[in-house]
Amino acid sequence: MTGARRDAEGPVPGGRPASSPPTEVSQPDGPDPAARLRAEVDAWIASDPDPATRDELESLLRRGDVAGLRERFAEPLTFGTAGLRGAIGAGPGRMNRLVVRRTTAGLAVWLRAQHGAGDGSLVVGRDARHGSESFASDTADVASAAGVPVRRLSRPLPTPVTAFAVRHLGAGAGVMVTASHNPATDNGYKVYLADGAQVLPPYDEEIAAAARAESQEGAGTCRPVPPARAPRPFEGRAAVERIDEQELLRAYQAAVLACLDVDAPRAVDVVYTPLHGVGGAVAPALLEAAGFAPPWVVPAQAAPDPDFPTVAFPNPEEPGALDLALALAAEHGADVVLANDPDADRLAVAVPLADGRWRVLTGDEVGALIGEHLLERSHGDDRLVATTIVSSTLLSSLAREAGVAYRETLTGFKWIARAAASSPGMRLLFGYEEALGYAVTDAVADKDGMSAAVVVAGLVARARADGSTLLDRLDAIEARLGVHATAQWSLRLDGAGASARMAAVVARWRDDPPASLAGHAVSEVVDLARGTGTLPPTDAVVLKMGTTGRVVLRPSGTEPKLKAYLEVTSSPPGLAGLASERVDAARLLAELRADVASRCRDT
């Protein structure tokens, strides 16, 4: 192959011109890795229904790009946080139509084998990202061909609407095609169980195993499966039903409005942005239905656009993502900025300062504000609030103050939504995670940035009526319960072997933890790989520094990132000592972040 790129194992053998049809190749004899890779690539091309991704592999073969092929085949996408997520492209290590079809084939087999889990139907929803429409269509077609009744949303809608639909319609499972706040190059496949919450172990492993069996993969090969082949012999193709979206949105709206105080103040000026996502189709109307004035919506970000042209990353946590919303808020003298991520399951909040600048609240700060509000306005011994091991411990103090049960879960709403499941007679009043995810009503068993936006608008309206602000409420909370300063550090690791490198860093901290961090002795190391109390095992380690703070180190479940979650705490300082304690906490938090970064990069 003229000009072929080489590495230690040489180019992929047998390169062919683009006009040659893909050939079906069985497992080659002998240990030749290059021949084995070529067989896998040929088999994938033979099965791939998408000409674009077939051409992508053909192009790599023509160029002899072994590294590019290995990157797509060495590490197939696996179930992470409730499903699959990755860059759009060819091969088992990317998001594409064949990956979606094979995953759905396994999901269909698994769903048909379940008993007593809804009516056995599958709800399919999607956002407006690149590939979402075809991925959703393939999901519906494969499930229907396998005999699973399908109820499909016909237009792009937010993830919380799909989560709500699963339980509202009594379905057996749901699929939401979305990559949430990931870059424009990504897409994903999120699975919900019959309770409307994200899939969790061991069901995710069972679905993945069924997908492997249905696609006839094994022993390092990827034998072709004709795209039109039904996943398994079945009684007949099931129906694909279009969901009445207006009725569904009315039901969703009614469920959200039920969590509001009817006679609470509603005077508030809101700027809203869906960040080029699908929240704009639902959130502004929801705010109006709740009695608030129509929000000012950022014009350049109002309509769905899968390229996210005005932001570097469509994540409201990223620096600069809210710049247009903050500018619009300053122009109109708004009381609050509310921003959803592209699939509207997260919420960012920004509030004005006295000097005209704006401050973006952290997820932990918003969690404390909503948590205190819902605890104050609710009653009953069955109340439970929950957050994750990487969120602030402030919610536990609020719960203890209110005499309400508290649970700490693993990271992810698949755990938060089920926090009350192990406690008969309890109900989840509120759950949140520091990454801007909040559950303010049990009608949606997942994080919901739109219902949270309505609650926060109400909080701002009440504070405005009282002559105060959300920052005043935060001051009051920390004055009586102590400063809880939080921050994150992350290290992105791309390419083949990224997962192994992340795991190695966590293992190092687990096996040989530092004796001190930022000059403070590490008093306890909690290895969550073994599980603790009610927590199942997970690849994370917690280092505690007495009552001063803690660090949680873990690999991300949705991105190739190693993440550290930092918290510094103080005794209750009262309002008089609050400013001084916050300065000390911020200084220690910066030192802690620098120490963690240095140790992780040097590992």
196: domain CATH number is: 3.40.120.10
In 318-382, beta strands by DSSP E? 336-340, 347-352, 358-360
Please give the structure tokens belonging to residue 167. Answer: 């339980």
Q: Is residue 224 a part of any domain in this protein?
A: no
409 and 337 part of one domain: yes
Q: Would you say residue 339 has pLDDT above 70?
A: yes
pLDDT of residue 3: 35
Instruction: Between 249 and 558, name the one with better pLDDT.
Output: 249
Tokens representing 282? 């639902």
Of 211-215, 313-317, 496-500, the range with the highest mean pLDDT is 313-317
Q: Is the pLDDT of residue 226 over 80?
A: no
Asked if residue 223 has pLDDT above 60, the reply is no
Residue 554 belongs to a domain: yes
Task: Please give the share of the chain, as a percent, with pLDDT higher than 90.
Answer: 77
Residues 283 and 160 in one domain: no
Strand partners, 151: 123, 241
Confidence at residue 458, expressed as pLDDT on a 0 to 100 scale: 97
Q: How confident is the model at residue 216 (pLDDT cuts 50, 70, 90)?
A: low
Is pLDDT at 167 greater than 70 in this prediction? yes
Which tens digit of pLDDT belongs to each residue from 370-401? Answer: 999 999 999 999 999 999 999 999 999 999 99
226 found inside a domain: no
Out of 47, 180, 392, 451, the active site residue is 180
Dihedrals φ, ψ of 177, to 5°? -85, 110
Choosing from 433, 457, 481, the residue where a domain stops is 481
Residue 420: pLDDT over 90: yes
Closest CA to 24 of 166, 172, 216: 216
Least confident of 270-279, 334-343, 389-398, 496-505: 496-505
Q: How confident is the model at residue 19 (pLDDT cuts 50, 70, 90)?
A: very low
Residue 408 · residue 386 · CB < 8 Å: yes
CA torsion through residues 358, 363, 368, 371, sign: positive
423 in active site: no
| CATH number of the domain where residue 544 is located | 3.30.310.50
Residue at which a domain ends, from 22, 54, 74: 74
- 154 domain-assigned: yes
Q: Does one domain contain both 84 and 62?
A: no
Domain that holds residue 494: 482-602
Q: Which of 81-85, 456-460, 561-565 has the lowest mean pLDDT?
A: 81-85
| DSSP H or E segment with residue 205 | helix 203-214
Asked if 313 and 427 sit in the same domain, the reply is yes
For 10, the token pair is 């040489």
Is the same domain home to 312 and 459?
yes
Instruction: Looking at the structure, tell me whether residues 453 and 314 fall in a common domain.
Output: yes
Which of 49, 74, 99 represents a domain boundary (last residue)?
74
Q: Is 222 within the bounds of a domain? A: no
430 and 549, same domain (yes or no) = no
Interhelix angle for 470-481 vs 394-402, to 10°? 80
pLDDT at 97 over 60: yes
Instruction: State the average pLDDT over residues 578-588.
Output: 96
In the chain, the percentage of residues whose pLDDT exceeds 70 is 90
Task: State mean pLDDT over 195-222.
Answer: 79
Residue 237 lies in a domain: no
- Mean pLDDT for the stretch of residues 13-27: 36
- The answer to whether residue 303 sits within a structural domain is yes
Q: Would you state the pLDDT for residue 118?
A: 72
- Say if 236 falls within a structural domain: no
